[in-house]
Amino acid sequence: MYSSLAGVAYVLAGYPLLAAISARVRPRPVRRTDDTPSVTLIVPCHDEVDVIATKIENLLRLDYPSDRLEIVVVDDGSTDGTADAVRRALDGVRSNVRLLERPERAGKAAAINAAIAESSGDVIALSDATAVWDPGALRALVQSFGDEDVGVVSGRMSYGGDGVGRVLDLYWRYEDSIRSWESASGTTVGVNGNIFAIRRRDAEPLPAGTVNDELTLALRAAIAGRRIVFDPTAYAADLPSPTMRDETARRSRMTAGRLLSTMGPARGVWTRPGLAVRFVSHKLLRPFVPVMGGLATFAALATLFTTRARPIDRFIASLLTVGTGSVAVASGLGHLLERTGRAVPVVVRGAHLATSSATASIVGILRALTGRQRATWTKRPPSAASALSPQASCS
């Protein structure tokens, strides 16, 4: 029981504390610049007819010299008229946006590879079709490339809303803190593909079947000795999953992709001890927290039924059992309220997210180990995408 609890405590609190201490005692500032290198901003998409015009409108509002920016929308075998929607959005408009059509769906990694091969920017930026960038986001991202040691820069995401988005924002504030501390002392191992930039020279072609494209690109750059930094001043807003069930599906894909990256294209991470420790502590062990928590709970139940257990052991086992049971009950309530269309209190929503994340972690681990995770991605449900706005708040 205690060893499992120690593992959970290390991942969720111990490592973040060590990262914060490292940022304070061994700071490694990033040398920034006001230069505006040439940038290719890639938007891979599949069946995004409902949001792609708004996405283009948003990107055309970026505060960046138009002669230094090319925007490439890659249509990966869409069947809903996404390519036609792009052409309509650009009809009669002089812009730096161009459409790259791929009639056969091959997945996000293949779409990104194709766009990079046909682009010219010194910096490659990535964003999904549903994310709305703050006007100054791109300029903020490239400032960190004034430091020659920096190969990758990732920004901050916001979801907002009163449903799933509200509790996701709470989680991301926690995650962003860890990324800030890691970045301040060297390299973070957490990136967000919705607001992401990498030097062209560090953007190695992604192998076929890559699931987590941005993490693979970032880790391979770090393996080559580049820094991955987090810049909270570069931010974007995205649409949250409409339900926790959709969020679970999204997270399971992310978990599988994370594991597959280090088993395949980014396995070189194990040759760099410092990077490996950060990756294991921050990313690799995170999906196994539910496993450790489950083992601790079973051990606690066994302790309660053991007559020779010490009083302190019984007390801790009781607390753990009651706590786990309370989270399970709250999660069930959250699921019921969500299914009936009623408002879900944020505390209940948090418990629902915890159990949904646990489920996603286990499913993702199994998919990675059995090779059942597909490289193609699933579009966000239309009900959520309908709220996208080019002027959406990113604060």
Q: Which of 66-70, 244-248, 379-383 has the highest mean pLDDT?
A: 66-70
Q: Is the pLDDT of residue 393 over 50?
A: no
Q: Inform me whether the pLDDT recorded for 384 exceeds 60.
A: no
Tell me if 362 sits within 8 A of 290, measured CB to CB: yes
Q: How far apart are CA 146 and CA 148, in angstroms?
A: 6
At residue 298, φ and ψ (nearest 5 deg) are -65, -40
| CB 21 within 8 Å of CB 88 | no
User: For position 395, what pLDDT does the model report?
Assistant: 40
What pLDDT is recorded for position 379? 63
Strand partners, 308: none
CA end-to-end distance (rounded Å), the chain: 41
Over residues 22-35, the pLDDT tens digits come to: 999 999 999 999 99
State residue 386's pLDDT score. Answer: 43
pLDDT at 330: 87
Please list the alpha-helical segments (H only) found in 70-131.
82-90, 108-117
Residue 335 pLDDT > 60: yes
Beta bridge partners of 197: 125, 153
Domain boundaries defined on the chain: 31-282
Higher per-residue confidence, 160 vs 204:
204
- The predicted-structure confidence for 100-112, as pLDDT tens digits, reads as follows 999 888 889 999 9
Q: Report which residue type is found at 290.
A: P
pLDDT of residue 381: 60
pLDDT over 60 at 196, yes or no: yes
Q: What CA–CA distance (Å, rounded) separates 199 from 142? A: 9
Report the amino acid identity of residue 149. Answer: D
pLDDT tens-digit readout, 137-151: 999 999 999 999 999
User: Nearest-5° angle of CA 296, CA 302, CA 307?
Assistant: 135
For 103, residues 6+ apart whose C-beta sits below 8 A from its C-beta are: 77
**394: pLDDT strictly greater than 50:** no
Q: Could you report the per-residue pLDDT of 36-57, keeping only the tens digit for each?
A: 999 999 999 999 999 999 999 9
pLDDT of residue 251: 83
Q: CA-CA distance, 364 to 284, in Å (whole number)?
A: 12
pLDDT at 310 over 80: yes
The pTM is what? 0.88
| Per-residue pLDDT at 377 | 63
Share the mean pLDDT of the chain: 88
CATH number of 31-282: 3.90.550.10
b/e for 90-114, b at 16 or more Cβ within 10 A?
A: beeeeebbebbebeebbbbbbbbbb
* Gap between the Cα atoms of 382 and 341, Å rounded: 17
